[in-house]
Amino acid sequence: MFAYIHREIVPVEKAFLHVSDLSIQRGYGIFDFFKVQDGHPYFLDDYLDRFYNSAASMQLEVPHQRDDLKSIIFSLITKNNIAASGVKMILTGGYSADGYQPAEPNLIITQHHLTLPGEDQIKNGVKIITHEFVRDFASAKTINYSTGIWLINKVKENQAVDVLYHQKGIVSEFPRCNFFIVRNDNTVVTPAHQVLRGITRKNILKLAARKYRAEEGVVTLEDIANAKEAFLTSTTKRIVPVVKVNETVIGDGKPGAVSLSLLNDLIALENEDFQSKAN
């Protein structure tokens, strides 16, 4: 496996950062992550837009123009030649002289084999727990996942698969996924504030608007308890139905028709994106 670092593609075993990097010293940096199938990165422009936006909002400069970055990505995925993978672009705070001042950012690009959620999660839905927390710079994809990682044991102890953040009962997102509910009138709603604007979230809002009412708005813990369906979204997970939040069962406790139909629509949209680039 090869990675891009220090402006060259090298075997991943040789991809090192110096200890002075601000990502190591202070956890300062941003990243993004997209799926690749047979050499085709899905929705690449959306992920690049978000990568450049996250960098700008954290005052980091991406060392390449968009076209150059694209050709680096294509060189790497051609070299690695993996059927189904995820590509991660990380931009760090750079080699800091005093361990605090930002320096020239380091860009690292790695590629990984992809694991999709198991069939049983789609068939039966999952349980989640909740935790009061708001991410710093929520609209940027920063590398700081301390709270999410710190909560891993609590998630496991509760036989849950993930933890949904909220503040005073107003929910936002998971450490690595966005959240949706389906109200009883089939309106599909996702939290508007204190969230990362997920690319899957954007696609689901677009797809949902074709069939139902779809909106970004305020979602409370009480709204979830009264919802007909709930689901999470992310690049790797697509849609996973949520059937239990803490000890509250959502709807009839089974993955709902709206969630499952949106999952099919998302797969169709991915296929369309794949075909459009192949032509």
Ligand X SMILES: Cc1ncc(COP(=O)(O)O)c(C=O)c1O
Candidate residues 151, 199, 240, 250; the one interacting with ligand X per rule CB under 6 A: 199
Least distance from ligand X to the Cβ atom of residue 108, Å: 17
| Cβ contacts of 220-227, under 8 Å, gap ≥ 24 | 220/169, 220/170, 220/171, 221/130, 221/166, 221/169, 221/171, 221/245, 222/169, 223/181, 223/183, 223/189, 224/171, 224/181, 224/248, 224/250, 225/250, 226/183, 226/184, 227/181, 227/182, 227/183, 227/184, 227/251
Question: Residue 237 in contact with residue 177, Cβ under 8 Å?
Answer: yes
- Verify binding: residue 54, ligand X, rule CB under 6 A: no
Candidate residues 92, 106, 200, 259; the one interacting with ligand X per rule CB under 6 A: 200
C-alpha 233/C-alpha 249 separation (Å) is 19
Q: Nearer to ligand X by C-beta: 141 or 244?
A: 141
Candidate residues 198, 251, 255, 256; the one interacting with ligand X per rule CB under 6 A: 198
DSSP assignment of 175-226: SS-EEEEE-TT--EEEE-SSS---HHHHHHHHHHHHHS-EEEE--BHHHHHH
The neighbouring-strand residues paired with 86 are 35, 112
Size of the site for ligand X (CB under 6 A): 14
Which of these ranges, 21-29, 82-90, 196-204, 253-261, lies near ligand X under the rule CB under 6 A? 196-204
Least distance from ligand X to the Cβ atom of residue 240, Å: 12
C-alpha 150/C-alpha 105 separation (Å) is 27
Q: Nearer to ligand X by C-beta: 53 or 75?
A: 53
**Rounded-to-5 percentages of helix, strand, coil across the chain:** 35, 30, 35
Candidate residues 233, 240, 251, 263; the one interacting with ligand X per rule CB under 6 A: 233
- Verify binding: residue 201, ligand X, rule CB under 6 A: yes
Positive or negative torsion for Cα 227, 231, 217, 187: negative
Print the binding letters for residues 117-156 with ligand X: x by CB under 6 A, - otherwise: ------------------------x---------------
Candidate residues 23, 96, 111, 234; the one interacting with ligand X per rule CB under 6 A: 234
Decide the pairing of beta strands 188-191 and 178-182: antiparallel
Q: Nearer to ligand X by C-beta: 92 or 178?
A: 178
Which of these ranges, 65-73, 79-87, 211-219, 229-237, lies near ligand X under the rule CB under 6 A? 229-237
Candidate residues 177, 224, 230, 240; the one interacting with ligand X per rule CB under 6 A: 177
Candidate residues 178, 188, 191, 244; the one interacting with ligand X per rule CB under 6 A: 178
Q: Nearer to ligand X by C-beta: 4 or 34?
A: 34
Candidate residues 21, 173, 265, 273; the one interacting with ligand X per rule CB under 6 A: 173
Q: Which residues of this chain interact with ligand X, rule CB under 6 A?
A: 141, 173, 175-178, 196, 198-201, 233-235
